[in-house]
Chains A and B, each alone.
Chain A
Amino acid sequence: MTDLTSLTLAEAREGLANKSFTSLELTDAHLGAIEAARALNAFVMETPDQARAMARAIDAKIGKGHGGPLAGIPLGIKDLFATRDVRTTACSKILGNFVPTYESTVTSQLWRDGAVMLGKLNNDEFAMGSSNETSCFGPVVNPWRREGSNTALVPGGSSGGSASAVAAMLCMGATATDTGGSIRQPAAFTGTVGIKPTYGRCSRWGIVAFASSLDQAGPIARTVRDSAILMRSMAGHDPKDTTSVDRAVPDYEAAIGKSVKGMKIGIPREYRLDGMPAEIEKLWSEGAAWLKAAGAELVDVSLPHTKYALPAYYIVAPAEASSNLARYDGVRYGLRVPGRSIGEQYENTRAEGFGAEVRRRVMIGTYVLSAGYYDAYYLRAQKVRTLIKRDFEDCFAKGVHAILTPATPSAAFGVGEKGADPVEMYLNDIFTVTVNMAGLPGIAVPAGRDAQALPLGLQLIGRPFDEETLFSLGEVIEQAAGRFTPARWW
C-alpha cells in the first residue's frame, strides 16, 4: 500500500472517487510513511487516531456520494494553525502544551471540504527563520541530499516541516504560512510547489500571528494542480478577520492548462544580483525561454526599490512581532516562570520561553517603535514600503501580467551552516520578501537542479488577486521542467 503515497493529490482524488481505494487505506499508507520518516523531524505531533476517525467518517460520506472537494485527502498542518483539541505551539516553548478550544478558519475549511488531518508540522519558532532551525523541537531535515553526500540539509523555513513532509511523500499537501518567503523558499529548497496568495485572500483567524500586515496562509504541494486544488479550499472571506477580502473564490484548478499566449512576463533587472551563481542565472533564462515558447512575451522591467525591501522588512516585521508577541506573558496560557513580582514573572517567562531569534526580533521591534526612534525607523520603512508597492503597480500598469524571478539565491544549505550572522540568514528571502511588502501573490515552482543535483525554484509574481495567472504560468514551467522527487534514504 505504500505506493499510494506517491500519487498526486489530483490522482488520489480520482482513485477515491472511483473507489480504487478508501480514505482509510490512503491515510494508513501515509501514517506508515510518517512513522518511517521520523529522522526528518517533519512532524511535531502525529494524530493517527484522529486521522483514522476522520478517514472513516469521510469514507462513509464518499459512499453516499457527497464527500466534498478534498474528500479523504490526508494533509499535514503547520503547527502555526490552531487545531481544536490538538496541541498547537508555533514550535515555541512559551506555548508549552497549549491546546486550542477552537479551530483556525483555514483548517476548518479543509475539514469542511473532507480533508483528513495526519498531524502537526514543524516550523521555525513563531515562523521566524529561513531554515527551520529555530524550532523548539529541533531542525527539520530536507529529504534531498547533495549528490554523493550524507550531509543533512535544511528544508528552508519557516514552513520547513510542511515542505519536507510533502517532498518526502508523508502527506499529499500541507498548510503553510508566508511572512517574508516562508512558503516559497522552503518549496524551492525541496522541489515542491508553494503559493503565497494575495494578502487578504485567506483568513488569518486562528493562525498564530507573527507580522499581521505581511502574514498570509497558503499551500505546499507536489504539483501546481495540487496547489490550486488546496488554494480553493483555503481561500475565502471570514467575518472574523477584517483584513480578509469579501470576493468570490475562483475555481483555481480551471486555470491549469489555460493558454498563456500573449501574456506579458516582466523580467526585473534589479533581481540580477552581483555575484549571483551562474546556475541561478541559467535557471532563470531557461524559465523565461519556456514561457516564451508557450507564447508569452518577455519584457524587461524595472523595480527600482527592490534592494530596500529586505531592510524595510526587518523593521516592519519585528515591529509588528514585538506587538503581537506581547500577549505571551505566562498569565493566561503557556509557560510560566515565577518571579518575585508580576513584572519579574513576565520577564522570566519571556526570557525562558522565547528562543534566541524570537528574543532578538522582539527586541529590535521594541527599539524601532520606542519613543524617539519611531519616525527614523518605522515610519521611514512604511514609506519605503509604499514605494516598493508603487514599483509593482507601475509595472502592472504597463500591461505586464506577471513577473518571473528566481525563488532563492541558492539551493538548500547544510544544517548549522548559516546563522552565526543573522543578516546572512535573512538574505535567503531577498527575492521573496518584496512580494509580502506589496501584498501580492507569488508562486514558487521547481524548475531545475544545481551542480550538486539539488532542486532550484523559480518564482512568479502576479497582480493582486490574480492567482489564476500564476497557476497557468506555473503549469507551463512544471510541464517543461518535470517533477522533482528525492531518492529515499530515511
Chain B
Amino acid sequence: MSVDAATVRRIAHLARIAVTDEEVPHLQGELNAMLAFVEQLGEVNVDGVEPMTSVTPMEMKKRPDVVNDGGIPDDIVRNAPATDGHFFLVPKVVE
C-alpha cells in the first residue's frame, strides 16, 4: 500500500501537525518508504495467532478506588505557557 498527497495531508491533520504544501512530496516519499519496508509482514502466516496484548504475562494489579494524591494546583500549572490563577488559558474554543 502507498499513500498519495491527499492522504499525507489527512494523516497530518489527524496527527495535528501542520504541513506546508512544499513538505508534502517529501513526507509522502518517506512514509511510502516506511510502508514499503513493513510490507514484508504480509508474507507471515498469522492464521490463528493471538495478537500480543501484554509482553509479560502478569495479572493487572488493583488498588482501592481512593484519592491518594492531589492538592497541588501550583505544581500542575507551574509549567503552563499561559495561565490565569490555577486555570490554563487557551484561544477561544466556542464562537
By a beta-carbon cutoff of 8 Å, the part of chain A in contact with chain B is 98-99, 101-102, 198-200, 213-214, 239, 242-243, 245-246, 305, 307-308, 311-312, 314-315, 322, 326, 329-336, 338-348, 350-351, 354, 359-360, 362-367, 370, 373, 376-377, 379-387, 389, 421-423, 426, 438-439, 464
Are B90 and A342 interface neighbours, CB within 8 A? yes
Contact for A363 among B15, B41, B56, B92, CB less than 8 A: B15
Q: What is the minimal beta-carbon distance from B65 to any residue of chain A, in angstroms?
A: 14
Tell me the dominant secondary structure on chain B's binding face: loop
Extra contacts besides A314-B37, A389-B55 (14): CB < 8 Å: A199-B56, A200-B56, A242-B60, A242-B61, A243-B56, A314-B38, A339-B91, A360-B31, A366-B11, A370-B11, A380-B41, A383-B46, A421-B33, A423-B37
Are A383 and B50 interface neighbours, CB within 8 A? yes
State whether A199 and B81 are in contact (beta carbons under 8 Å apart), knowing that A322-B15, A380-B41, A422-B33 are contacts in the complex.
Answer: no
Are A363 and B11 interface neighbours, CB within 8 A? yes
Query: Which residues of chain B (33-76) have a CB below 8 Å from chain A?
Result: 33-35, 37-42, 44, 46, 49-56, 58, 60-61, 63, 72, 75-76
Are B34 and A423 interface neighbours, CB within 8 A? yes
Question: Once A and B bind, how many residue pairs between them come within 8 Å at the CB atom?
Answer: 163
Residues of B within 8 A of A344 (CB): 18
Contact for A330 among B19, B37, B56, B81, CB less than 8 A: B81
Q: What is the minimal beta-carbon distance from A373 to any residue of chain B, in angstroms?
A: 8
Bound form: Cα–Cα A426–B35 in Å: 13
Bound form: Cα–Cα A311–B42 in Å: 11
Bound form: Cα–Cα A279–B35 in Å: 32
Bound form: Cα–Cα A350–B13 in Å: 11
State whether A333 and B19 are in contact (beta carbons under 8 Å apart), knowing that A383-B46, A384-B44 are contacts in the complex.
Answer: no
Bound form: Cα–Cα A213–B72 in Å: 30
Contact for B17 among A359, A379, A383, CB less than 8 A: A359
Contact for B72 among A101, A363, A376, CB less than 8 A: A101
Q: What is the minimal beta-carbon distance from B22 to any residue of chain A, in angstroms?
A: 13
Interface residues on chain B, number (Cβ under 8 Å): 53
Residue of B nearest to A199 (CB): B55
Are A422 and B34 interface neighbours, CB within 8 A? yes
Are B88 and A383 interface neighbours, CB within 8 A? no
Q: What is the minimal beta-carbon distance from A303 to any residue of chain B, in angstroms?
A: 14
State whether A333 and B79 are in contact (beta carbons under 8 Å apart), knowing that A199-B55, A363-B11, A383-B51 are contacts in the complex.
Answer: yes
Are A245 and B49 interface neighbours, CB within 8 A? no
Bound form: Cα–Cα A441–B76 in Å: 36
Residues of A within 8 A of B5 (CB): none
Contact for B18 among A351, A362, A364, A464, CB less than 8 A: A351
Asked whether B6 is an interface residue with its Cβ less than 8 Å from the other chain, the reply is no
Bound form: Cα–Cα A101–B61 in Å: 26
Are A329 and B44 interface neighbours, CB within 8 A? no
Q: What is the minimal beta-carbon distance from A420 to any residue of chain B, in angstroms?
A: 10
Bound form: Cα–Cα A322–B16 in Å: 10
Are A336 and B82 interface neighbours, CB within 8 A? yes
Residues of B within 8 A of A326 (CB): 16
State whether A422 and B79 are in contact (beta carbons under 8 Å apart), knowing that A311-B37, A315-B38, A347-B18 are contacts in the complex.
Answer: no
Are B52 and A366 interface neighbours, CB within 8 A? no
Q: What is the minimal beta-carbon distance from B10 to any residue of chain A, in angstroms?
A: 8
Are A312 and B41 interface neighbours, CB within 8 A? yes
Interface pairs (13), CB distance under 8 Å = A199-B55, A245-B56, A245-B58, A314-B38, A331-B80, A331-B81, A339-B91, A362-B15, A365-B15, A367-B11, A370-B11, A381-B41, A464-B56
Asked whether B30 is an interface residue with its Cβ less than 8 Å from the other chain, the reply is yes
Contact for A347 among B17, B49, B88, CB less than 8 A: B17
Are A351 and B19 interface neighbours, CB within 8 A? yes
Bound form: Cα–Cα A347–B11 in Å: 12
Residues of B within 8 A of A365 (CB): 15
Are A350 and B18 interface neighbours, CB within 8 A? yes
Bound form: Cα–Cα A150–B92 in Å: 55
Bound form: Cα–Cα A330–B35 in Å: 30
Are B93 and A350 interface neighbours, CB within 8 A? no
Residue of B nearest to A307 (CB): B40
Contact for B88 among A331, A362, A370, A373, CB less than 8 A: A331
Bound form: Cα–Cα A439–B58 in Å: 13
Are B49 and A387 interface neighbours, CB within 8 A? yes
Q: What is the minimal beta-carbon distance from A468 to any residue of chain B, in angstroms?
A: 17
Are B78 and A101 interface neighbours, CB within 8 A? yes
Contact for A360 among B30, B55, B90, CB less than 8 A: B30
Bound form: Cα–Cα A98–B80 in Å: 9
Bound form: Cα–Cα A339–B44 in Å: 45
Q: What is the minimal beta-carbon distance from A180 to any residue of chain B, in angstroms?
A: 14
Residues of A within 8 A of B93 (CB): 341-342
